[in-house]
Amino acid sequence: MVVLSQPALDHFLLLQPCKPTPLFTGIPVVDLTHPDAKTLIVNACKDYGFFKLVNHGVPFDLMANLEHETLKFFKKPQSDKDRAGPPDPFGYGSKRIGPNGDVGWLEYLLLNTNPDVISPRSLFIFKENPQNFRVAVEEYIRAVKNMCYVVLEMMAEGLGLGVAQRNVLSRLLEDEKSDSCFRLNHYPPCPEVQALNGRNLVGFGEHTDPQIISVLRSNSTSGLQICLADGTWVSVPPDQTSFFINVGDTLQVMTNGRFKSVKHRVLADTTKSRLSMIYFGGPPLSEKIAPLPSLMLKGEESLYKEFTWWEYKKAAYTSRLADNRLGPFEKPAAH
Ligand code: GA4
């Protein structure tokens, strides 16, 4: 085991000692087979921008198999893993997140999910690893995407858009040019945290996701925290059989602020390693992002300037993780 001296940890974000973040038992739970699932989804997205999805129909085997294959990758010698990086933004990354100086106590693989525009890095990773890994990633993504279309259709119906409009959100992810990506995060345990006098080590710093929707599955190690509407942070009890769904910035704009993109972060654990797999569903690069016209009430004005997903993404990659990326796109409040 590599023993890190405390100065080494100082390069990472340490949260000042405060009361331990409470384990939150109030996370909305949506059963996808429930007759009222549409309403439950919409209420959760308005109140929390976040919910736990159960009875989702994705076989546990697919999750467990991908977890198994992914751990095999992360167990490889560092020099092998480094050959799949640094992220451009796709590929293997360790400790550095994004191009602007953010760091976290994790290593990860970032892949794009559109088979037509699969990046050279993603291809390299699959070529260098047993075929099982690629199959596990592809099977998992296929199943999660299909489930995600159902969730987005229910969301549209729950927003009162009517059956004819039910695909206004899902079509963006189903589009062959959908700019979606997939992230496998490995947070190694950090025993040294115990010596930090109650401070916590940040695995992945606070941020909102830029896309429409994120679908997260993790093993049974805790660490994920979300920020509630009143600004308090709470810990999300892990559940390896369920998905956690995040509203992204793009969906906040498309609902003209009815849904809020959820601020979230991950803290490192002292003894257990955490593995999470996240599908980020985004629109095609050329898509104009604006509130859905059929959602707008008479006289309601957009809270945001119009922009394309490409423009938003370009700006996102010049930002720091914790920045409010939607800020520059907000219209000044009318007096
Ligand atoms: C946050 C959500 C996703 O993990 C991600 C991240 C991306 C990256 O790691 O390359 C970003 C981050 C995320 C938002 C701001 C920019 C871009 C790192 C960063 C500092 C893949 C994404 O789409 O946006």
Closest CA to ligand 1's atom 1: 209
Residues belonging to the active site? 274
If you measure from the C-alpha of residue 183 to the centroid of ligand 1, how many angstroms do you get, rounded to a whole number? 10
Best residue among 213, 319, 321 to mutate for probing ligand 1's pocket (most ligand atoms within 8 Å of CB) is 321
Minimum CA distance residue for ligand 1 atom 6: 98
249 Cβ closer than 6 Å to some ligand 1 atom: no
**C-alpha 54 – ligand 1 centre gap (Å):** 27
**Domain-wise residue ranges, the chain:** 6-325
Q: Are 172 and 248 within 8 A, CB to CB?
A: no
Q: Is 102 in the pocket of ligand 1 (CB under 6 A)?
A: yes
* pLDDT mean values, one per 10 residues, the chain (335 residues): 53 68 90 98 98 98 98 96 93 96 96 76 84 94 98 98 94 96 96 72 96 98 96 96 98 98 94 97 97 97 97 98 98 79
- How many whole angstroms separate alpha carbon 83 and alpha carbon 121? 10
Which ligand 1 atom is at minimum distance from the Cα of 108?
Answer: 9
pLDDT of residue 13: 73
Cα 80 to Cα 74: distance, rounded to the nearest angstrom: 10
- The tokens for 227 are 């920020």
Crossing angle for the helix pair 131-158 and 120-128, nearest 10 degrees? 130
Task: Specify the CATH class of 6-325 in words.
Answer: mainly beta
Ligand 1 touching residue 113 (CB < 6 A): no
Find the 110 Cα to ligand 1 centroid distance in Å: 10
Q: State which of 90, 96, 109, 110 you would mutate to test the pocket of ligand 1, scoring each by most atoms of that ligand within 8 A of its C-beta.
A: 110
CA distances from 158 to 39, 101, 165, 282, 293 (A): 5, 40, 11, 20, 16
Is the pTM higher than 0.75? The answer reads yes
Does ligand 1 lie within 6 Å of residue 100's CB atom?
yes
Q: What is the dihedral of CA 106, 30, 154, 254, to 10 degrees?
A: -50
Between the CA of 7 and the centroid of ligand 1 the distance, in Å, is: 27
Strand ranges across the sheet with 274-281: 29-31, 50-54, 243-247, 213-218, 274-281, 181-187, 102-112, 91-97
Please report the pLDDT score of residue 22 as a whole number: 78
Q: What's the 91 CA to ligand 1 centre distance in angstroms?
A: 13
Closest ligand 1 atom number to CA of residue 325: 15
